[in-house]
A and B are shown apart, each in its own frame.
Chain A
């Protein structure tokens, strides 16, 4: 296990996962940032949050998605961005699972405010979100010397230390 944790190849393995997650999060956040009112309606349709939190969630969450997506791609505060993505995916998994358990036939609201027929929530939505959550967790736990700004800064610090 120790060898596996110390393996230098994690950085190479995590890079495509980081870019993939980053692109997804940036893409998913854009329509929500552009139109918070519509995203608030999507949040309300899930019927999980009290009314006082619906708009706050719709305003605050999309910029965090966007920033986490950018940071995980450029590799600055990589593991923190991975942690945020993992936490958000955890929230989405719980929200979608509860909506499914309630029998809500609603659109996911994940990438655009699409009609229910175009983007319905199903068991596959939960599975997809779990996979993305695991990718985020992999970055947090194993990508200790990420390729990108963090890796560059680490190498420079080590060189300065001699």
Chain B
């Protein structure tokens, strides 16, 4: 249609809109190219934290464990790692009791003895842990024998998440330790 009509008449609304837009696009492309070139050069030769232009291996959102899996370490309820900033906390109890009380920022993943934890839920947990830059995952459960926290911890570890701990005595022990 534009070809049939030719150039928009000078001073019209269409002419004003198209005025200089081609130059704007060329300017934008030139800025992009120059920035890209400078960024690549600085990253390669001048940046103290430079990275390769192409990642040599896939980023590990789900961190693989070199062990066959299922290894969890017990922590006492007063262990400083439970409240540490770089800890990702997981509550293995049912949603109702989780709502009533849980550790700050804990994620609720209810452990079921009969059904395995859904894989997409474990993947979500791993992604949240990775994006929070956590160095370890601490799971706590109902503190019974067997303990849901320990069981979920083993399951997470078995799925390739490393540095998984569980709290001995679970939520009751944590609440007791929190009281003065």
Residues of chain A at the chain B interface (Cβ within 8 Å): 1-2, 5-6, 34-37, 40-42, 44-45, 47, 51-52, 54-56, 58-60, 62-64, 67-68, 71, 77, 79-81, 83-84, 87, 103-107, 113, 115-117, 140-141, 144
Contacts and interface: CB of A to CB of B under 8 A. Distances in A.
Interface string B3-42: 0000000001100110110001101100110011011101
B1 interface: no
B16 A36 contact: no
A90 B61 CA distance: 25
Interface of B: 12-13, 16-17, 19-20, 24-25, 27-28, 31-32, 35-36, 38-40, 42-43, 47, 49-55, 58-59, 61, 105, 120, 124, 127-128, 130-133
Given A83-B24, A103-B124, A117-B105, A36 B36 contact: no
- What does DSSP make chain A's interface, helix, strand, loop or mixed? helix
Contact of A105 (B52, B124, B133): B124
17 contacts: A2-B13, A35-B49, A36-B47, A37-B51, A44-B55, A51-B58, A55-B55, A56-B53, A56-B54, A59-B53, A64-B39, A80-B24, A83-B28, A84-B31, A106-B131, A107-B131, A116-B132
A18 B177 CA distance: 53
Contacts, number: 119
A63 B24 CA distance: 19
B51 A64 contact: no
A40 B24 contact: no
Contacts of B120: 103
Nearest to B38: A63
A141 B58 contact: no
Considering residues A1, A56, A140, which has the most beta carbons from chain B within 10 angstroms of its beta carbon?
A56
